[in-house]
Amino acid sequence: MTDEAPGPALDGYAEVAIPVPLRRAFTYAIPDALLEHIKPGSRVAVPFHRRKVAGIVVSTKPTPPEGIRVKKIAGVIERDPLFPEELLRFLEAAAGYYFHPIGEVLKSAAPALPTGALRRLRKDGFLDDGETLKGQTVGTKLALFAKRTDLASEGLRLGASQRSILALLEAREEVGLDELREHAKSPRGKLARLAELGLVSLTEREVRRDPFFSRTVEPQGPLEPTGAQQVAIDAMIAELGSRAAFLLHGVTGSGKTEVYLQVIAEAHRRGLGSLLLVPEIALTPQLVGRFRARFGDGIAVLHSALSPRERDDAWRGLRSGELRFAVGARSALFAPIDKLGVIVVDEEHDPSFKQEEGFRYHARDMALLRAHRANALCILGSATPSLESYALQRRGRATLLSMPERATKRSLPKVEIVDLRRHVRGPTGHRFVSGPLHHALRDGLEEKQQAILFLNRRGFVPSRRCESCGELLSCPACSVTLTEHRRASQLRCHYCDYRCDVPSACPACGADGLKELGLGTEQLEDHLNGAFPDARIARLDRDTARGRGIEDVLHRFREGEIDVLVGTQMVTKGHDVKAVTTVGVVSADQSLAFPDFRAEERTFQLLAQVAGRAGRGEREGRVFFQTFQPDHRAVRCAARHDYQAFVEQELEARRDLLYPPFAHLVAVRVDSGSEPHGRRVIGDLARVARAALGEREGSVLGPVVAPIARLRGRYRFRMMLRAPQRAVVREVAAAVIARIEEGVGNARASIDVDPVSML
């Protein structure tokens, strides 16, 4: 008999990331009873400043640092590591790139803590088995579903609602009661009667409560790809299991989604997981429906409306490998997908992929990093790729695949540029409903077609000015004008949500006559209701569409229950409605006035994207760009659907001005309750930055007052660090951070690596 060989020695100390604004981890001793259970990625409870907090173990080691007294870990919250090794190391790298505290990064990526976890750890350091998260479970709702039988209904006395239900069931394999409520009043009783007559069969089963799963979808196999789609699919599948990156440039309607579906299907056949990132999950129920039709309901849809319990269920389903596919907005990037094989960033150009508060990461850029580290394929898809992504493929770091035609072979819509300098008044007298747009709407309504009108300004009027003294009605806490919301009889600040009644006279001089300036979606909707009284007109913006309201409006529009949809950027993103033949951009040059070097690029992208909503069915589309700058290249190129001409001109301008993608930027922002103190802080940081830059190539732009000088009662300043070499700008940023960490009084100072917002 021989002695068993001893197992490997277990590390007795852990580096724990705690969610505090410090860019470091803290060393703790691991109690003997927990040695086998604590690994990198584990969530643990630790003592910190006389309280118990949750942290994530980032590494373990055999010995502690010299010269410090090490406290013990109080307990382990989950028996298995919360973060897989691949995701943990990616998050560490992301925290380092954005100079953000690792503890805060890991907390933002983790699911919620179990209820009472920190105070209910047992003496042995483990969590009671009965601990749960707040909120309902996802799959506990019993739902009623109806199917049409083969029995004929001729000769039976049926009401109009019953016949409409039968017609719907004959067109569909199965329909749920929730969906039938949108087509008939009180359908449960009508279904019961139809079941008595043997015309329908009824079944009850559990369904997920998630609104993205509230409607049944018919299973659908892969579509026959076009030649360009097949080339893209073959190229991507050939690189599965590698670190390859692709830029899929496909015009609107070219079938990018079908490419994603077929590549992901092949990844799943190989046992690999997939992730689809979209700009705004609330606007993509149609897209989610297509993935459900192809892959079933075994999908994690990650969105802000999920309860903590639902989010935890999705996390653990992905972590265990039970779920292999996740769809979500930017934070879905942190999903713990087992054997990650594909990451898709749809509409990769969209600025909403950038997080603007706290951990200021860009999901597109970090998707490339995560895919590279996980040996996964990364697909960036867009009809109007960002200049950064386009430059990426020119440098050989991504492969460009083009789909220049629509999958239906229907041509891209014709665009008419309407010069508002000449079209002073339309047929109804409104400045922003020109004759060409008015006539197109009228003709489309007569032909039972649908229309979309895009205006990126909500409310009734953006501002009011006194005609006597020139005073603008402005927010008392922010340097912005107040927007009138007429239906609520209020003036509102769209930044701090300050609200007040609409005054009858000027608050400054007391004179009557507050002139309306500009146009908002609420006013446009009201005007169209008056101009086309028989049309069904709806509005989609932040005022009308909250929670399920967004999906309800979009569902009614897809079902043909809305003739004209008026809205902000919400109407430009990804909607595929076959009956939309008319699209109007009410003020095509509005975004050109933004103080931002990307203003022309964003204008082109918005115009091209919204134009692509037209003519996706059997009939050709017509698009109208109303503008005071008809000769601007962003407007002209978008009207010609000429991405290549625009991007070449814009790249040349960026090269001359030394802006991305030919330089790297870091924004430094300061805000303070005291204007003089804020100026002193930003001035001090600018001196530190210039000293750190020295004679190297680069520049410190500013400091200056921010375009919105005051926000929520605090004065705002900024400067920009710029250099052709990433290493240089990062060294300067590190010096600025070191100065910030020494203290800036009652001011707040932050940095933003690769900023998107210039406000």
DSSP string, 338-356: TTEEEEEEETTT-GGGB--
- The CATH number of 13-109, from 3.40.1440.60, 1.10.150.120, 3.40.120.10, 3.40.50.920, is 3.40.1440.60
Residue 129 predicted with pLDDT over 60: no
What CATH number has the domain spanning 141-207? Answer: 1.10.10.10
Determine the Cα–Cα distance for residues 490 and 485; give it in Å rounded to an integer.
Answer: 5
Model pTM score: 0.87
Residue 140 predicted with pLDDT over 50: no
Residue-level pLDDT at 158: 85
Q: Residue 201 forms beta bridges with which residues? A: 147
Residue 133 predicted with pLDDT over 90: no
| Section 494-508 average pLDDT | 91
| Section 433-452 average pLDDT | 95
- In the chain, the percentage of residues whose pLDDT exceeds 90 is 64
Residue-level pLDDT at 574: 73
Highest mean pLDDT among 61-70, 238-247, 313-322: 238-247
Residue-level pLDDT at 426: 86
In this structure, are residues 183 and 168 in contact, taking their beta carbons and an 8 Å threshold? yes
Nearest of 183, 174, 185 to residue 146 by alpha carbon = 174
- CATH topology agreement for domains 227-403 and 414-461+518-653: yes
Q: Residue 575 forms beta bridges with which residues? A: none
Residue 413 predicted with pLDDT over 70: yes
Highest mean pLDDT among 121-125, 338-342, 508-512: 338-342
Residue-level pLDDT at 370: 97
Nearest of 613, 606, 535, 603 to residue 574 by alpha carbon = 613
> What does the block give as tokens for 703?
């400091």
Per-residue burial over 491-513, b = 16 or more CB atoms within 10 Å of its CB, e = otherwise = bbbbbeebeeebeeebeeeeeee
In this structure, are residues 650 and 739 in contact, taking their beta carbons and an 8 Å threshold? no
610: Cβ contacts below 8 Å, ≥ 6 apart: 452, 454, 571, 572, 583, 585, 623
Give the burial class of 597: count Cβ atoms within 10 A of its Cβ; 0-12 exposed, 13-18 middle, 19 or more buried. Answer: middle
Phi, psi of 68 (to 5 degrees): -130, 150
Which tens digits make up the pLDDT trace of 311-366? 888 898 899 888 999 999 999 999 999 999 999 999 999 999 999 999 999 999 99
What CATH number has the domain spanning 414-461+518-653? Answer: 3.40.50.300
Residue-level pLDDT at 11: 77
CATH 3.40.50.2300 corresponds to the domain 227-403: no
448 vs 114, more confident? 448
| Section 578-597 average pLDDT | 92
Residue-level pLDDT at 142: 62
Nearest of 336, 332, 316 to residue 137 by alpha carbon = 316
Q: Where are the domains of the chain?
A: 13-109, 141-207, 227-403, 414-461+518-653, 664-753
Residue-level pLDDT at 206: 58
Residue-level pLDDT at 138: 39
| Section 510-528 average pLDDT | 91
Which tens digits make up the pLDDT trace of 7-23? 455 679 999 999 999 88
Q: What is the DSSP letter of 263?
A: H
Residue-level pLDDT at 196: 85
Residue-level pLDDT at 57: 96
Angle at 296 between CA 291 and CA 300, to 5 degrees: 70
Determine the Cα–Cα distance for residues 424 and 409; give it in Å rounded to an integer.
Answer: 37
| Section 23-38 average pLDDT | 91
590 vs 170, more confident? 590
| Section 53-78 average pLDDT | 90
32 vs 548, more confident? 32
Q: Which of 315-319, 348-352, 415-419, 730-734 has the lowest mean pLDDT?
A: 315-319
Determine the Cα–Cα distance for residues 460 and 517; give it in Å rounded to an integer.
Answer: 10
Highest mean pLDDT among 140-154, 370-384, 547-561: 370-384
- Relative to beta strand 414-419, strand 622-627 is parallel
In this structure, are residues 240 and 270 in contact, taking their beta carbons and an 8 Å threshold? yes
582: Cβ contacts below 8 Å, ≥ 6 apart: 440, 441, 444, 449, 450, 451, 452, 614, 621, 622, 623, 624
Which tens digits make up the pLDDT trace of 243-264? 999 999 999 999 999 999 999 9
Q: What is the CA radius of gyration of the chain?
A: 29
378: Cβ contacts below 8 Å, ≥ 6 apart: 244, 245, 246, 342, 343, 344, 345, 367, 368, 371, 372
Residue-level pLDDT at 203: 83
728 vs 158, more confident? 728
Residue 204 predicted with pLDDT over 60: yes
pLDDT level of residue 211 (50, 70, 90 thresholds): low
217 vs 291, more confident? 291
Q: Which element (helix H / strand E) includes 285?
A: helix 285-295
Q: Which element (helix H / strand E) includes 452?
A: strand 450-454
382 vs 132, more confident? 382
Distances (CA, A) of 355 to 20, 105, 132, 469, 752: 19, 12, 30, 41, 10
| Section 478-489 average pLDDT | 92
Mean pLDDT rounded to a whole number for the chain: 89
Residue 306 predicted with pLDDT over 80: no
Q: Which of 332-336, 510-514, 605-609 has the lowest mean pLDDT?
A: 510-514
Residue-level pLDDT at 182: 66
585 Cα distance to chain centroid: 22
Q: Report the SS3 class of residue 729.
A: helix
| Section 58-63 average pLDDT | 92
Residue-level pLDDT at 553: 86
| Section 570-592 average pLDDT | 90
- In the chain, the percentage of residues whose pLDDT exceeds 70 is 94
Residue 190 predicted with pLDDT over 80: yes
What CATH number has the domain spanning 664-753? Answer: 3.30.70.360
Distances (CA, A) of 281 to 92, 329, 352, 557, 609: 26, 6, 11, 18, 17
Q: Residue 248 forms beta bridges with which residues? A: 381, 401
